[in-house]
Amino acid sequence: MWCKIIHIFLFFIFLNAPVHSWGQVNTGEICDNGIDDNEDGLIDLNDPDCDCQTSVPPSHIPNPSFEEIDCCPSGNSQLNCAKTWIQASEATTDYMNRCGYFERDQFPLPKPIPDGDAYIGFRNGRFTRNPEPNWKEYTGACLNSPLEAGTQYTFQFHIGFVDRNISPPMDVVLYGTTDCKNLPFGVGDRSYGCPTNGSGWKVLGKVYVSGSQEWRRYEITTTPAEDIAAIAIGPDCIELDLSVNPYYFLDNLILANSQLFGPTIEKIGHPCNPEFGLLASERQNVDYQWYRDGIAIVGATDRFLQFDQREGKYQVMIMTGGNCVLSAPYDYIIPTFETQTRKIICPDATFAFGEMDLNRSGSYTHTFTTRDGCDSTVHMDLTVLTESVDTVQEYFFKGETFEMGPYRFNSPTASTFPLVSSIGCDSLVHLILDEYDIYIPNAFSPNGDGLNDTFTIYGNDALIKVQSMRIFDRWGNRVYQQDETQPVNWNGTNNGKQMESGVYGYLLDLILYDGSIKVLSGDITLLR
């Protein structure tokens, strides 16, 4: 009788003891109610009583970051240097390690790499020389222990991108086989393509990847229908038609029971939009609990969390079988934008700035709301032009036409006329237009009499400098060139040999007073 009473009493005490939501009996903190139960000033995950797994689980894939080596790579196509990894396809992947060959010059590597000192690179077809769309490169491994049929597994990996041209978006596929003897596949045929082109392989899952000059982490979730002994990773079976050889990087390949992974968090919508939310990765037969700054959001127990746009570090916990696994934090900060701009308006005009109509020069600030609901603060310096007459000094070459707005001039002038500016203001311009002061003779006589012995360009050095002069005979052969030397002249010789009398062509590169380049051409007669 007394034993029965004692058992009932102990059972009552057990039922009323504070318990972690993931099943640990604890006389201190309850970890999912948002309350400091043990009054130590620490709530939920901030309390050491609520420790939860955040580490990465051990991978079924041996040597998951390619760190263990049998040799240091010295060039491309040396996956054999990475312990346990198998070159799955006849088209060969590249193994890189800091101990030796680490980076291909034509494929800039985004840095830092995700884990350790090694990674691999692979192609999805070759197209620049002897195109082979099925030149698809795969890496494979015989697993430490098979994936069991009916159990959910998650494959997490990092993939690196060169840029959107060399590393276009594609599907990365996880393939599986029941027998390690199926590695490698397509032996002797480098255009064999993906594993499923033959027997013994099936697609376990795939994910669409995209990026530029970065590493990104992705995951594939799979529940195999039969035990899987070996895997291969690489592109899908689709044949591409590209003008470049696509190339990607892989690192940190973790394949484990999904329940051992901390969930990942995906953003849904724009962070400023009231509909914005967070989505936890899917796991089978688990309970979810969301936290902000380590404190439980009471009632937030679904995969999707839509919240009140409060800033903070958000995490999600999954609980199953008395164990909990916690995601990495997602730092939610409402984006704000701040810009500086300058506006110029015509006299008597107004500028609409928020709810203000401005007509005075000055500095103004206004906060706008973007299409997505973000605050965008604009600091604007406004200048209201005054009516004035601008004086412009310009030059033109004889025989050419000078243009300003709708006006055309082919002779020197000094005149005032109205113009509409680029911002639509009416203004007056006083134009002083002169011809360039330049004289190019049409003949010279290099006979040593001291008169016209050289072909020389004459002009105002303040307005025109001769950058180079090239002389050609009547067959187009260049017989003389002079660069960046003042004065520029030709004495009628080619490498010390006197040229015959006749007509020669010239090309002059002139640097004008405003820094622009003008090319003039013509004929010069050499007389002896």
List residues bridging with 439 in a β-sheet: 458
* Among candidate residues 459, 411, 461, the one with its CA nearest the CA of residue 438: 459
Question: Could you give phi then psi for residue 352, rounded to 5 degrees?
Answer: -80, 120
Q: Are 344 and 352 in contact (CB under 8 A)?
A: no
Separation CA 330–CA 266 (nearest Å): 9
pLDDT the model gives residue 17: 31
Q: Which fold has domain 265-332?
A: Immunoglobulin-like (2.60.40)
CATH 2.60.120.260 maps onto the chain at 79-255
Characterise 452 by phi-psi region: left (phi > 0), alpha (psi -120 to 50), beta (else).
left
pLDDT the model gives residue 25: 39
What pairing do the DSSP bridges indicate for beta strands 375-384 and 336-345? Answer: parallel
pLDDT the model gives residue 486: 66
Separation CA 482–CA 471 (nearest Å): 9
Consecutive sets of 10 residues in the chain, 528 residues long: mean pLDDT of each? Answer: 33 32 54 91 91 80 96 95 96 96 93 95 92 95 97 95 95 98 94 93 96 94 97 95 94 91 88 92 88 96 92 92 84 91 89 93 93 91 84 89 90 87 80 91 92 89 86 94 81 93 94 90 94
Would you state the torsion angle of the CA atoms of residues 350, 352, 357, 360, taken in this order, to the nearest 10 degrees?
-50
What is the pTM for the complete model shown? Answer: 0.54
Which helix (H) or strand (E) segment is 72 a member of?
none
**Which CATH number applies to 79-255: 3.30.930.10, 2.60.120.260, 2.30.42.10, 3.40.50.2300?**
2.60.120.260
The answer regarding whether domain 438-526 maps to CATH 1.10.10 reads no
- The strand ranges marked E within 346-477 are 351-353, 356-358, 362-369, 375-384, 389-396, 402-404, 407-409, 413-420, 426-435, 438-439, 443-444, 455-456, 458-459, 464-472
**518: helix, coil or strand?**
strand
Question: Could you give phi then psi for residue 145, rounded to 5 degrees?
Answer: -150, 145
pLDDT the model gives residue 413: 92
CATH 2.60.40 maps onto the chain at 265-332, 438-526
pLDDT the model gives residue 19: 35
